[in-house]
């Protein structure tokens, strides 16, 4: 008998990477087109599709142009569309009444999407910032963002969106108690099937810069949002917020921004096992677009790698402005 040679190296981990078929067999995570939620910007007017300068490739659409976008998304197999309103200073008031106007562009867009593509889930944004003269997500009294009066307004806003046909209510305001208040109001109004995707761990982030241009909020915002959005230094606090929102009736939770907070996504998924989403926000998007425009990075590969990162971090899905581009590559 031949003496058995000690194998060298003991384990050859490269064996499983040797061919595309072997790599496919051992791949741990996958990105599917149904994981994607596409945020779109809507506005008043007619026949408008105007580029957002700070977000190359992203446009603001008047409501009459929204159905076409929804059909494009449906054809690509995108799971959901999230509607954000663009407003001018003339649409903003101290009492933020535009926020729960059934005829505001966001609510009309929600209805138009449900009409054109009933199979796509429509998500709304609940926060007062785009209707508020000072750009804050809540009412401001004596320089303070007040909580409880804001929650009453958010409830009215959420109900108007559910009435318009929203499948998913997306409170992005970070007020305390709004999930419970919205949940019970939805139940009371016969909207027990309407889901809530809570922006539970939303950080006070510089990555929202291009979005604030997109919705017309950059000039409007006085001060910052640090008394309600989270400190980027915190992690345990995110778990307390998610626990609270799930208890109050959130069906799904979101971590926002995404890529700088993948550790939070992982902790949230591990701790709760609840449907967890990340928002790849405007700054993340525009940084990739800008670097790609210079030829410094490969846009398609970076896009897909960043999206896979969310899946690997435990997310079930991603809100991303790349949704149509990624869907085309996945097809
Ligand atoms: C505000 C809101 C923001 C975003 C979504 N909803 C910005 C903010 O909190 O100021 C940011 C999204 C993005 O940057 O893509 N309610």
Question: Can you tell me whether residue 276 is helix, strand or coil?
Answer: strand
pLDDT value of position 7: 76
Q: Is the CB of 172 under 6 A from ligand 1?
A: yes
The phi-psi region of residue 172 (left if phi > 0; otherwise alpha if psi is between -120 and 50; otherwise beta) is alpha
Atom 7 in ligand 1: residue holding the nearest Cα: 208
How far apart are alpha carbons 1 and 9 in whole angstroms? 23
Pocket probe for ligand 1: among 172, 213, 214, 219, the residue whose CB has the most ligand atoms within 8 Å is: 172
Instruction: Evaluate if residue 187 carries a pLDDT over 90.
Output: yes
Among residues of the chain, what percentage have pLDDT more than 90? 92
The CA-atom distances, in angstroms, between 40 and each of 35, 155, 269, 319, 323 are 16, 22, 27, 10, 10
Q: Is the CB of 208 under 6 A from ligand 1?
A: yes
Q: Is the CB of 284 under 6 A from ligand 1?
A: no
How does pLDDT run across 265-312, given as a tens digit for each residue?
Answer: 999 999 999 999 999 999 999 999 999 999 999 999 999 999 999 999
Q: Which residues pair with 83 in a beta bridge?
A: 40
Q: How many residues does the chain have?
A: 331
Residue 97 has, within 13 A of its CA and on its CB side, a CA count of: 3
How far apart are alpha carbons 280 and 212 in whole angstroms? 15
Q: Is the CB of 211 under 6 A from ligand 1?
A: yes
pLDDT value of position 169: 98
Q: Is the pTM of this model over 0.90?
A: yes
| Helix, strand, coil in percent for the chain, rounding step 5 | 45, 20, 40
What's the complex ipTM? 0.96
Q: What is the DSSP letter of 104?
A: S
pLDDT value of position 1: 64
pLDDT value of position 221: 86
Q: Which helix (H) or strand (E) holds 43?
A: strand 36-43
Distance from residue 130's CA to the centre of ligand 1 (Å): 10
Distance from residue 102's CA to the centre of ligand 1 (Å): 22
Determine the topology of domain 31-330 in CATH: TIM Barrel (3.20.20)
Q: State which ligand 1 atom lies nearest to the alpha carbon of 137.
A: 16
């Amino acid at each position: 008998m031949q003496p058995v040679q000690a194998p060298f190296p003991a384990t050859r981990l490269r064996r499983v990477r040797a061919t595309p078929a072997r790599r496919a067999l051992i791949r741990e995570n996958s990105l599917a087109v149904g994981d994607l939620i596409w945020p779109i910007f809507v506005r008043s007017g007619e026949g408008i599709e105007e580029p957002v300068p700070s977000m190359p490739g992203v446009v603001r659409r008047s409501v009459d142009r929204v159905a076409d976008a929804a059909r494009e998304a449906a054809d690509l197999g995108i799971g959901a569309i999230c509607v954000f309103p663009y407003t001018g200073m003339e649409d903003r008031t101290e009492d933020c009444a535009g926020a729960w106007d059934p005829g505001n562009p966001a609510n009309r867009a929600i209805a138009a999407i449900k009409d054109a593509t009933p199979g796509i889930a429509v998500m709304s944004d609940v926060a007062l910032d785009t209707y508020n003269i000072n750009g804050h997500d809540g009412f401001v009294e004596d320089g303070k963002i007040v909580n409880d009066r804001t929650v009453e307004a958010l409830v009215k806003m959420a109900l108007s969106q559910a009435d318009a046909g929203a499948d998913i209510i997306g409170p992005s305001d970070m007020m305390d108690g709004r999930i419970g208040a919205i949940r019970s109001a939805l139940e009371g109004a016969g909207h027990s099937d309407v889901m809530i995707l809570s922006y539970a761990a939303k950080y006070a982030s510089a990555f929202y810069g291009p979005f604030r241009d997109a919705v017309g909020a950059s000039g409007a915002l006085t001060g910052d949002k640090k008394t309600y959005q989270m400190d980027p230094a915190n992690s345990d606090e995110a778990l307390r917020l998610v626990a609270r929102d799930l208890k109050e009736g959130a069906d799904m939770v979101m971590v926002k921004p995404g890529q700088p907070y993948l550790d939070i996504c992982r902790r949230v998924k591990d701790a709760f096992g609840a449907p967890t989403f990340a928002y790849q926000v405007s700054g993340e998007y525009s940084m990739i677009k800008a670097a790609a425009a210079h030829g410094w990075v490969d846009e398609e590969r970076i896009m897909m790698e960043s999206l896979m990162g969310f899946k690997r971090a435990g997310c079930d899905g991603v809100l991303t402005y790349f949704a149509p581009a990624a869907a085309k590559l996945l097809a």
